[in-house]
Each structure stands twice: as C-alpha cells, then as structure tokens.
Amino acid sequence: MQEPLVAVVVGAGWAGEGHTLAMRHCGVQVAALCARNAEVVRAVADRLAVPEASTDWRATLRAVRPDIVCLATPAALRGEVVAEAAALGAHVLCDKPLALDAGEAARLFRLVHEAGVRHAYATTFRYDPSVAWLAELVSAGRLGRLQEVASSTRRPVSPGIWPWSWLLDPAQGGGWLHNGLTHVLGVLTRVCGTPPVRAVGDARLVPVQAAVVPGLHDFRRFQSLRLTAAEAHGLQRRDGEIERSYRALLVFGIGDAAVRASVTYQADIAVPWPHNGLRLFGSEATLVAQETGPGTYAVALRRPGEGAAEPLPVPPSLAEQVASDPATFVQSRWNALARDFVADIRGQACAPYPTFLDGWRDQVVIEAVRRGREWTDLPAGP
C-alpha cells in the first residue's frame, strides 16, 4: 500500500476550507493550516479538525515537509510560498488567479516546472458536469465542426456599500477579470479541447468606496454582505476599483481547426439578464447552454430550419461525478480537481487538469484585455 500523502494548506478563508476538504476527499492527510491571523487560523483549524494552526508558514513547511502545498491566499501572498514549496520538492495546488501579473505568473510556472513537481491551478468551473457534457458533445461532432463560441454574463449591481476586501483591489489579485474571466477561460479551454493562443479586449474599471468591516475574512460573507449608510457609519472607508464591464476576444487552436470566442461581462444593469450562458456555433448546429447557476448550464441543441431547440440533459454518468446540490457543488468542484491532481501525484491514470501554465496564459489574457490595444500571443509552454 502507498504511504498516505500529507498536505499543508496556506490560507484560512473559504478557499482554505475548500482545499482542506478536497485533500481529505482524496485520502490526503492535512497536517497544518497556516494564516496570518492567529485567532482566525486557530478557529478554522479547530472547526476542520486540522492538528496544527500556524502563523509561520515557512517554519511549518520546513518542519512538516509535506507532499502537497495548497495555496488559498490572495495572489499577492503566493510567490514566496511557491518558491519554498518547490525548493522542498512539494507539489503545489494554487487557487486563481495564479499571480498579480504575467511576469510573476511566468516565474511561478518556471519554478515548479524546473523543480519537477506537479502543479494545479483551481479554475474549477470547468469541472461542472454540464461543462463536461458540452465538451463531450463538441468532441462527438453533434454540432459539426465547432467554429465560434460566445459567452455572455450580465449581472445587476447589489445595492449598498461594499465591505472592504482584496477583491476590490486588482493590485492584490482582485477584480472580475482575475476572479471571473479565469473561470470562463477554464470552461472554454475544456469545451474547445485546446487552450487559447491569442487574445485582445477591453475593460472598464470603476471606483468604489468600501467600509472596513472588522473580522471579515471569508469570501462567502463578502459576497453576501452589503451595508446601508447607517451600518457603515463610523467605519473606516477605503477606495477601491473593480471592472464594471469587460470584453475579450480569443482564438483557440490554430489553422483550420481554430475557434474564435467572445466573452462579455456587464455588471451595471438593473435586473439579471435572462440569457446568461454560452452559445457554441458549429457547421451543422448550435449548442445553447443557458446558465442556471454559477458555471452550471442547461444544454439544448438547435438545428437550422427547426423551430424548437432539443433539450440535452446531462447524462447521469456525468452528473454523479460532481454534486449538483447548491450547498455542496462548489466544494465538489474543488474535490474533482484534487481527484485528478492527487491521482497524477500517485502515478495513477487521471484526466487532464489545469496547471500553472494555464494560470500564466490567463494572466497574459487579462493584461491584453486591460491594455485594449492589439492582439497578444499567449505562451505555449516553457
């Protein structure tokens, strides 16, 4: 029998919890949880029954010498941890975005590549059963040759005052390009069966004012919390900015097999857009993927000359792989990535999973969109 793998998780927010549970789901022992705030990391470690809570990740990595290091911190805090993990020969699983800029993403990729360790990058929306189903339909030729993909997302702006978080600071890895487009790119890469090779676009950043809420460290609370003026009275205010909208044009693949894709995001409309989702245009038919939840789609096939689209429900064999329960499906996606990553570490058969190379490409795409000037070629490898 193989010796159990041991992991250390760095980060004690939602992603830290998700990585911890995902490792355990795959039979990996989580020896320690590391974070900057002693009170927070102790409380989270106790709740998750992790033996050690540490505020010194470097000392913990050197003492434990784990097989796997999971990085669940904001992107600004990852570079030194990746370097230390690679030097110790530990495999690394990192949440998105991989880094703050393309240069740093390239450096992190080269660190793990040259160390010869496995590396995974958590753009987990690609693991939704409906995305796997779209990829199967495209691969099987149900719409002929895939020629173009359109992704559209429009969200209403939540009323009230934002609580301050790194999400409101692109310089710390915040913003919807870092935390939304990355997931879309993962989905499109799986559906198209090949990574993007070129990108261009534009983005509109808008200033926001936020209130510093003491004790706020879990992204789930940040997502749901908006303050009234009375609730924010007396709290420190900080200025931030976030993308109100962006557009990205991409090319997946090369030559006659190339697929063009457009991604649009808009967040200043008054009501939700009823047609959020994907349209996959083929030479013989179109696949319509209507968003039913974050990264989850209802799929239908529309043929030329036919009135109604044909519903194509996700087969049970795919639906069973990742839970559809809204209370658990986010965790199930983390579990699915960890399943492939850990199997690879153990030398077992596994499906392809996103790596630091994908994270590097994503960062190049983000910077191309922000520049908004010319097409940019994406890295193909080391």
In this prediction, residue 268 has a pLDDT band, given cuts at 50, 70 and 90, of confident
In this prediction, residue 272 has a pLDDT band, given cuts at 50, 70 and 90, of confident
Tens-digit pLDDT profile for residues 176-212: 999 999 999 999 999 999 999 999 999 999 998 899 9
pLDDT for res 325: 55
Domains of the chain, CATH where assigned: 6-124 (3.40.50.720), 129-322+356-377 (3.30.360.10)
Tens-digit pLDDT profile for residues 305-327: 877 899 999 999 898 777 655 55
Give me the mean pLDDT over the 230-255 stretch: 92
Q: pTM score, two decimals?
A: 0.94
Three-class SS of the chain: CCCCCEEEEECCCHHHHHHHHHHHHCCCEEEEEECCCHHHHHHHHHHHCCCEEECCHHHHHHHHCCCEEEECCCHHHCHHHHHHHHHCCCEEEEECCCCCCHHHHHHHHHHHHHHCCCEEEECHHHHCHHHHHHHHHHHCCECECEEEEEEEEEEECCCCEEECCHHHCHHHCCCHHHHHHHHHHHHHHHHHCCCEEEEEEEEEEEEEEEECCCCCCCHHHHHHCCECHHHHCCCCEEEEEEEEEEEEEEEECCHHHCEEEEEEEEEEECCCCCCCEEEEEECCCEEEEEEEECCEEEEEEECCCCCCCEECCCCHHHHCCCCCCCCCHHHHHHHHHHHHHHHHHCCCCCCCCCCHHHHHHHHHHHHHHHHCCCCEECCCCC
Tens-digit pLDDT profile for residues 54-103: 999 999 999 999 999 999 998 988 999 999 999 999 999 999 999 999 99
pLDDT for res 123: 97
**What mean pLDDT, rounded, does the chain reach?**
92
Does the pLDDT of residue 274 top 90, yes or no? no
Tens-digit pLDDT profile for residues 324-352: 555 577 899 999 999 999 999 999 999 99
